[in-house]
Chain A
Amino acid sequence: MKRFVYINDEYQNDYCDNRISNTKYTLLNFLPKNLWEQFRRFMNQYFLLIACLQLWSLITPVNPASTWGPLIFIFAVSATKEAWDDYNRYISDKQVNEMEIWIVKNGARKHIQAQDIRVGNIVWIRENEEVPCDLVLIGTSEPQGICHVETAALDGEIDLKTRVIPSSCVGLDHEQLHKIKGVIECPNPDKDIRRFDANIRLFPPFIDNDICPLTINNTLLQSCYLRNTEWACGVAVYTGNETKLGMSRGVPEPKLTAMDAMIDKLTGAIFLFQIAVVVVLGSAGNIWKDTEARKQWYVKYDDDEPWYQILVIPLRFELLCSIMIPISIKVSLDFVKSLYAKFIEWDEEMYDHETDTPAHAANTAISEDLGQVEYILTDKTGTLTENKMIFRRCCIGGVFYGNESGDALRDVELLNAVANNSPHVIKFLTVMTLCNTVVPIKSPSGAILYKAQSQDEDALVNAASNLHMVLVSKNGSNAEIHFNRRVVQYDILDILEFTSDRKRMSIVVSDCQSGKIFLLSKGADEAIIPCAYSEQRIKTFVDAVDKYAQLGLRTLCLGWRELESDEYLEWSRSFKEANSALIDREWKVAEVCQKLEHSLEILGVSAIEDRLQAGVPETIEILRQSGINFWMLTGDKQSTAIQIALLCNLISSEPKGQLLHINGRTEDEVARSLERVLLTTRITTSEPKDLAFVVDGWALEIILSHYNEAFTELAVLSKTAICCRVTPSQKAQLVKLLKSCDYRTLAIGDGGNDVRMIQQADIGVGISGREGLQAARAADYSIGKFRFLKRLILVHGRYSYNRTAFLSQYSFYKSLLICFIQILFSFLSGIAGTSLFNSVSLMAYNVFYTSIPVLTAVLDKDLSEKTVMQNPEILLYCQAGRLLNPSTFAGWFGRSLYHAIVVFVITIHAYANEKSEMEELSMVALSGSILLQAFVVTLEMNSFTFVQLLAIWGNFVAFYVINFLISIIPSAGMYTIMFRLCRQPTYWVTLLLISGVGMGPILALKYFRYTYKPSAINILQKAERSGGPMYTLVNLESQLRSDVENTNISISTTPVKNKNSVYEPLLTESPIISTRRSLVSSSFDIFQPAQSRTTSSYPRNIKAN
């Protein structure tokens, strides 16, 4: 499928105009579309059904307003939010659409609005203007035909990129640009911002009527900014929503947290329970009606009723019970969730001073999941490391530099070699300087700044300039180098670009003085060393690569070759051909490149250090302590990856830890290797060893396609894994694999290659780092530094989980409470479905009285942040879902049943005989329920700020104020009721009794469990709040470490207490403290035999809960 764009053609084509529309609705379709979207949720359908049933006055127990009111309110809130968002999108679209743009029309320049640009128009852009649509560059102000663009809005990369005009357009002046005609053959719109496989052919009289290939380097994409260039002009090829940016815009699938799923499940269970109640009570009611009620003349049942009368009583009960599923829960959850997200964004401790980035929660709905993470899959470069590359060592022609000082730039020998013009070193430096895509920019002060797309290249060029080989300028095909006060000029003939498959890049240059043509290459060792000419001894280089990798350094091999001009010319032709291919261009180009990249003279190996970010080892240690398993997925080579893993506490060295390798080239080898590793893992799980496995991309590919099951088992057994040399899609596959085992996964990364994994994982975290914002943009959360992850999970994730657990269960509790009272009352009202409470009370109960106090649970903290950080193991309670699961829910269910019985029984006995007036009795029961729920919130909260106290008890006061107000309306059913009640001593005596009987057993039970069967949370609460010194594992260990450092004695840490804790089975399985590497390994060999159960039962335990 191709698109032919005729440049500057008067004929109107039918491609869309450049109007950008990100809005979801129009004025007309807003209401139906929005309602349709809202009604796609089950909860909303349920509420609508209930509300509709209530319109049938025969069955409705209460005024329909008691359901319609909240329902309409909830819908209005959601709709307003949608409308507001959409309006904002509309405004920003409008701004873009009405931007004034110069285009060429009928040979003259004209001002039009950006939305009126058509495909084929020639658009002029001046410096610092935004590109309005996707353009093919045909002219710039620079004589070399280049311009610079900033693509931050597109891919988040903040460096300047060079764009060049196609060769056939070089040298056109203004006049010609106004009249230019031609055709561009390009693919249909797609979203790949790295590819543009097209051709341009200019019509006579322009140049040679030749087809000229176009690449992404010839384009200006929408939303980029033109920089450092006076003007540029281009032909619009994609417009409006068909631009590369427009096509890549998409609505990501909404993520559902484990907690939401659990709440949905519980809602379903309650729904079934409700149906059961309806069936039982409905048929009981019908039976009672046919036997007893017929005798009750005052009820006056007709003898012959229409058939549907049999449905009336069940439906009444359905409506009475409909409040079992609290209508307020969705609103409450949405509210608290957005507050959790705000807390993350507001958190000062997650603000990165260095880059001025606060944490950002793009997805506000999944904070609870953070507390339930079981696997973290992390990228290495830029995530664990700083991605700040520093040239540290090199090996040139077999000579190692920088080994003693650790810094080659200060190695006297190397400096001498440079001063003495050692040919090897000069060649090496030349490759370092030239073989890259760095753009030197002269600042006004005369200093040269390098704009590099890759940190490695930046490090190499900077290092070279420190060694007196300075890249001064690069103008189109001309590069100027100053070396030892000499000026050397090179013509850059071709660039053989880097791709992740080729793993190397090359550049063909010709020396302007000698006219000699050189091929300069650099790349991964396995991509360069095989290309060495056959006589070269490569062993030193292989050794060097190994040695550097063991030090955790990133290595690059550099090579070069002098080309015969014949050879080059011939090759150049095929290269050009390949480059203009429209199909499979990348593959064809790679093929052609291969033809040139051989018989290289390997010059040496460079080693670049990428330092660990601050706090990474500590963060990983704490998170591993908290029971989270870590997988490191990196594109780096195995030895480097292992080294980094050791440095950041991911794995331990022998004898403390054991690293198992899965390798092999063929299917058989890999299968055998996997089998062996799996066997070892099965055996060793019972031993106190920190087990990890390493697998590389090649083996992984085979495993994932053939041995999925065995690998899944291994993945479950092993807590740590290192996958090196993996591609972005493999990263995503691994995430998928873990997800399929029902684990909560968190993927963290910083670069474009992590985007797929981030999107695939349950939670994606992006580091807004040096590799642009691509990852951060795709992620649910973005943070400035890896070390913030521990706070994100242990503090925000944990609190969010705890709070939502309480809030959701409480919501059910209070709805069930009122519902059980209604059910109990039905036994005393002839099972006819009479509502004890009036409509106003029922509505207000759900909307005001009970939902406001519990919202302050967002301020509740069971443990202080410090305690959590000191005892990260406590996260297990969230991971395993201990605070919200069917059994905790059963507790709340039982509590609401108990409270309903207490309220009802006490009320009907205290208000018996002459006092049994309906309105009074119902208000007594309601007051009792409100009082109990206030007590329950008080008892279940762990910390009280003034906000909570105000909400809980202010709400109780508000209950009376509201009811007094209703009691002064003569037409209300409740007229004077509240005043009458408050004057009766019986009322207050009854309330006191209800609270005593309702809360006494609950307090006693809670106290008993708190003191005699405490959970770890309770113990830490007591420790924290009694103010004593806290001997936690962390500071114990640090104490120990200082001891061990001096004397290396083994200390038994804590007295043996072999009491059986309730939670023992799970807690002992939490992956214990990892390792202070070899230093304390002997004294911290603390895995216990229970380990054998660890991984096999651990997941099941969690799921069973």
Chain B
Amino acid sequence: MSSQAAGSSSGGSGDGGAPRRNSRKPKYSKFTQQELPACKPILTPKWVISVFVLVGIIFVPIGVVSLMASKKVVEIVDRYDDACVPDNTTDKLAYIQNSTIPKTCTRTLKVPKDMKSPIFVYYQLDNFYQNHRRYVKSRSDKQLRDASKANDTSTCDPESTINGVAIVPCGLIAWSTFNDTYVLAHNSKNLTVDKKDISWKSDREHKFGSDVFPKNFQKGSLIGGKALDPNKSLSEQEDLIVWMRTAALPTFRKLYGRIHVNLTENDTITVTLENNYNTYSFGGKKKLVLSTSTWLGGKNDFLGLAYLSVGGLCFFLAFAFTLLYLIKPRNLGDNNYLSWNRSPAGR
């Protein structure tokens, strides 16, 4: 501003502060003034070290318990995809695709430890991508649930129709249902594999209709997997229901059935299996798994080991920090560490 603002029109005069009835003063509240009571924790050594100790104390027992649970599980895993192909076969793919050759195969399993019922029978596939984008989307939930939506096959490509007639159940997943079968014998006595209730109850009741029957299924030029009994409703086709709960990982086990008999150590189990399913084209493995179960599920050392190592690491960190604290103690709130406070005296 110029000092000689005589007559300058950018002036203003008078007192604008004439008392007004409505003050424009902001209303007070703790929120508007940003004064809400707040707790302001800081990372004190005491606090941090105790957190690490506490985490260690919690994690190590959990690790021990988990590991014990996993160790308690008795598991028999038998890979049979290679073994079940006659030795003289040069082209395994041609062998498996040739439907005229009988594919029965017998395997003998030895029980390593006592197994208490129920014993779960799984088949395990390796290198099988049920989670492939093209595969996982190729199904029609509406069609599976509702008989009237049989023609709702738009999402099922490339396995939706044959000659313009809708396939029920459509899609790649249903088409490629696993079709190896196992017959178990124990001490030359038949071992019943209970195939009831192997699928989720919610699936049987709400996802697969009891009035939906397979139609036009596996009638194409290329046969994928299991053929379905057209007289059984989908909700009763439990193998299909299990298969259609797609696995998220390329290695997975699916429940084949349960055995309600206890097995004792060194028992031998004879498995007569139909080796139908083609994993040879992509080098996938097929395994038969018999396993008991605990509160943590099947055999899985990972959780136990992870807990133990994390717990151990926490103890180590707590120890290291304590040591560090004792060797190089730091006073809280010593402003002398501020460089700008340091400088005045630094002359």
Contacts and interface: CB of A to CB of B under 8 A. Distances in A.
A368 interface: no
Nearest to A158: B16
A768 to B, nearest CB: 9
A917 B222 CA distance: 28
Residue among B32, B131, B200 having the largest count of chain A Cβ atoms under 10 Å: B131
A1026 B129 CA distance: 57
B39 A944 contact: yes
Contacts of A358: 24-26
Interface stretch (A114-122, A393-401, A1015-1023, A1093-1101): A1015-1023
Contacts of A640: 3
A314 interface: no
A458 B6 CA distance: 10
Contacts of B3: 381, 456, 524, 554-556, 608, 635-637, 640
Interface residues of A, number: 172
Contacts of A355: 16-17
A772 B10 contact: yes
B101 interface: no
B118 interface: no
Interface in A1042-1067: 1052-1059, 1061, 1063-1064, 1067
A451 B16 contact: no
Most A-side CB within 10 Å, residue of B10, B225, B247: B10
Interface string B317-347: 1000100100010101111111111111111
A914 B253 contact: yes
B195 to A, nearest CB: 16
Interface stretch (B257-265, B266-274, B292-300): B292-300
Nearest to A59: B133
A985 B132 contact: no
Contact of B296 (A753, A833, A944, A986): A986
Contacts, number: 433
Nearest to A1023: B333
A1059 B337 contact: yes
B134 A299 contact: yes
B206 interface: yes
A173 B42 CA distance: 82
A910 B342 CA distance: 53
Contact of A918 (B5, B136, B175): B136
A989 interface: yes
Contact of A297 (B6, B34, B278, B332): B278
Interface string A268-311: 00000000000000000000000011011111111000000000
Interface stretch (A37-45, A234-242, A408-416, A1027-1035): A1027-1035
A921 interface: yes
B12 interface: yes
A1025 interface: yes
B275 interface: no
A832 B132 contact: yes
A1006 B51 CA distance: 14
A222 interface: no
Contacts of A1019: 333-335, 337-338
B59 interface: yes
Given A300-B158, A774-B10, A1032-B335, A906 B306 contact: yes
B253 A452 contact: no
B300 A912 contact: yes
B335 A1023 contact: yes
Contact of A498 (B5, B136, B314): B5
A826 B121 CA distance: 30
A766 interface: no
A151 to B, nearest CB: 10
B4 A975 contact: no
A948 B224 CA distance: 55
A772 to B, nearest CB: 4
A1070 interface: yes
A455 B339 contact: no
A996 interface: yes
A442 interface: no
B110 interface: no
B231 interface: no
Nearest to A862: B40
B11 A159 contact: yes
Nearest to B158: A300
A301 B134 contact: yes
A346 interface: yes
Contact of B345 (A302, A458, A1053): A1053
Interface in A988-1003: 989-990, 992-993, 996-997, 1000, 1003
Contacts of A1033: 340-341, 344
Nearest to A871: B338
B307 interface: yes
B252 interface: yes
Contact of B247 (A292, A916, A942): A916
Interface string B50-64: 011001001100100
The CB with the most chain A CB atoms within 10 A, among B283, B298, B344, is that of B344
A955 interface: no
B285 to A, nearest CB: 13
B314 to A, nearest CB: 6
A345 B317 CA distance: 47
A592 interface: no
A681 interface: no
A635 B40 contact: no
Contact of B40 (A379, A524, A943, A980): A943
A1057 B36 contact: no
B324 A1030 contact: no
A299 B11 contact: no
A61 B40 contact: no
B172 interface: yes
A787 to B, nearest CB: 17
A1012 interface: yes
Contacts of B66: 989
Interface in A433-465: 435-437, 449-458
Contact of B314 (A316, A753, A833, A1000): A1000
Contact of A500 (B8, B23, B310, B317): B8
B59 A996 contact: yes
Nearest to B173: A298
Contact of A456 (B4, B317, B321, B341): B4
Interface in A467-499: 495, 497-498
Contact of B249 (A454, A828, A971): A828
B303 A913 contact: no
A770 B13 contact: yes
Contacts of A342: 32
A886 interface: no
A945 B342 CA distance: 34
B286 interface: no
29 contacts: A156-B12, A158-B14, A298-B135, A299-B172, A300-B158, A347-B33, A348-B33, A351-B25, A454-B5, A455-B11, A455-B12, A498-B8, A635-B1, A770-B13, A832-B134, A834-B133, A908-B248, A909-B302, A914-B297, A918-B245, A943-B40, A992-B62, A997-B310, A1004-B317, A1019-B335, A1033-B340, A1055-B345, A1068-B340, A1073-B344
Q: Which 6 residue pairs across A and B have the least CB separation, nearest first?
A: A1023-B333, A381-B1, A498-B7, A453-B11, A454-B11, A346-B32
Given A915-B298, A996-B59, A1053-B341, 16 more contacts: A297-B176, A343-B32, A346-B33, A348-B28, A355-B17, A356-B20, A453-B8, A453-B11, A829-B133, A859-B36, A918-B131, A918-B246, A990-B303, A1000-B313, A1056-B345, A1068-B343
